[in-house]
Amino acid sequence: MNGNAGYQIIYPKCSKFISVPPFRPPYGRNSPKDPIRIALDIGGISIPITESKPMWSDFWRSVERELKIRFYRPKSIKSYKTALRGLAVWAKVPPHMMTKELVRNYLLNLVSKGSGSAWLSVVISAIRTAFDKLGGMNVSAGLETPRRGRHLPIVLSEEEIVLLLSAATSLRDKLLLGIMYACGLRVSEVCRIRWSEIDLERNQIRVRKGKGNKDRYVMLPKVFSGIFEKGKDKCSPDHYVFAGARPNSHITTRCAQKVMEKAVQLAGIKKNATCHTLRHSFATHMLEHGTDTRYVQVLLGHARLETTRLYTHVTNTSATAITSPLDRIGVNEDQKCKLYFSKNNGLQYLSEKAFGIKGILEFRLKIRLGFLMRSKKGLWESDAVIEIEHERERIELLGIRVFEPRDGWIVMELPNAEEWDSLLKVLPLAIQKKISEPEFYERLRTILSKRFLARKAEICAGGTCATHEQNKHA
């Protein structure tokens, strides 16, 4: 109370000081990193570059040794060695004379030549690991990982997936591409699948040592259950599903990429589709059919949910039973190779000529189209035979069916390539390779389609459009 009666001074209430931090400190990949000097004071220098002054060859071996005992992946070690080799060729100085200015000028040279942010990040990581963390030179101080653009992935439609799998010429190729799409696997993961990792009782495939050296489970498509049951009975559990040419080895990622390139070309898909496109398509189709993003994140093996959200918005639908998209679009395990041809696509007729291989080997190819008839469903169809002659060898490839599901749209159906293996073994390896190339199938498709349409026009013009039953009695 002051001197004036009836008045009281009320002071504002003071807020209390909170001693705890208002925000949670960042963790994981965003957590603050300890300075390199502190880490070096604790653990010491693994490669004394300034004292030993090694040459580049000795320096590479030392770095490779340190990375291996730290359990770096072989692919990461290979990328680091490639990045350091490029720096050595450009700088033309021994490792102990490397400076901050040389490193920055080399990075500027890479940017000027059009290198992307992804490769620049690999180069910076290789330099920081080799020179700073292992050698204690601190030549990458102040460098940050470049920002990477977020580009939308290329996605194939479900109809294009059917065309792609139909264009695969062998059962192995169908299984390889089908598993990549049905399970959303990376190309390196699908190449390393062993028979012991396939659980038919739980309909699951165990993916061992995926990206980040992590294991996970993915669903097993039901359409391939029959193939896996037969394979597990015949093969050893330790063998690879996609075995390589050498004993106890798997196919390389480049081999899988060639299978994808061949199928894309034969299917007539114009998109720049790669093996990873099948993984993008798997995630997109799962989300389009209502699967929750968190389930898709687990199946893809993403560490962050934001990476999965790139494909589409977050859905609130709870997926109690996840179905593989390959089972949804209706692809059968015994589906034959189907190549399509439209009379409006501008392909020109190719006459029968001898195939030459580097001017040394030559073989004669003859294509015979059988009698054209109409089935009970009203479809025009015919059988075809391929006759191959080389020196004294002569073989016939049977089982080819050509039919017209709608006017002007011709489908060539081939048996799986495994059915022809025993016949093709009598030919030289160079000819076998020539026959397995996409150009051979393109030529076969064009010749049969042109002859089919010409034969159909002749029959309809003469008024002899016989049905299947009439031709059978004839």
Residue of 104, 194, 232, 276 with catalytic role: 276
Examine the residue annotation and report whether 75 is marked as an active-site residue of this protein: no
Return the structure tokens found at 297: 């994140």
Q: Contact at 8 Å (CB) between 382 and 370?
A: yes
Indicate the SS3 state at residue 109.
helix
- Pairwise CA distance, residues 415 & 337, whole Å: 6
CB atoms under 10 Å from CB of 333, counted, come to 16
Is 276 catalytic? The answer is: yes
Is 443 among the residues known to form the active site? no
Active-site residue, selected from the candidate residues 133, 186, 192, 285: 186
Tokens (6 digits) for 239: 């063998």
Distance of CA 445 to the CA centre of its chain: 27
Is 211 designated active site? yes
In order, the DSSP letters of 148-171 are ---PPPP---HHHHHHHHHH--SH
DSSP string, 9-59: --PPPPPPPP-S-SSPPP-GGGSPPPPHHHHHHHH--SS-HHHH---HHHH
Q: Which of 211, 239, 343, 401 is catalytic?
A: 211
- 133, 280, 302, 450: the active-site residue: 302
Partners of 380 in beta bridges: 374, 404
Q: Is the Cβ–Cβ distance between 91 and 102 less than 8 Å?
A: yes
Which position among 279, 285, 374, 451 bears the catalytic label?
279
Can you read off the two tokens belonging to residue 424?
Answer: 């093709």
- Cα–Cα nearest to 141, from 66, 24, 33, 267: 33
Asked if 187 and 181 count as a contact pair (C-beta separation under 8 A), the reply is no
Say which of 80, 240, 311, 441 is annotated catalytic: 311
Tell me which residues are annotated as active site.
186, 211, 276, 279, 302, 311
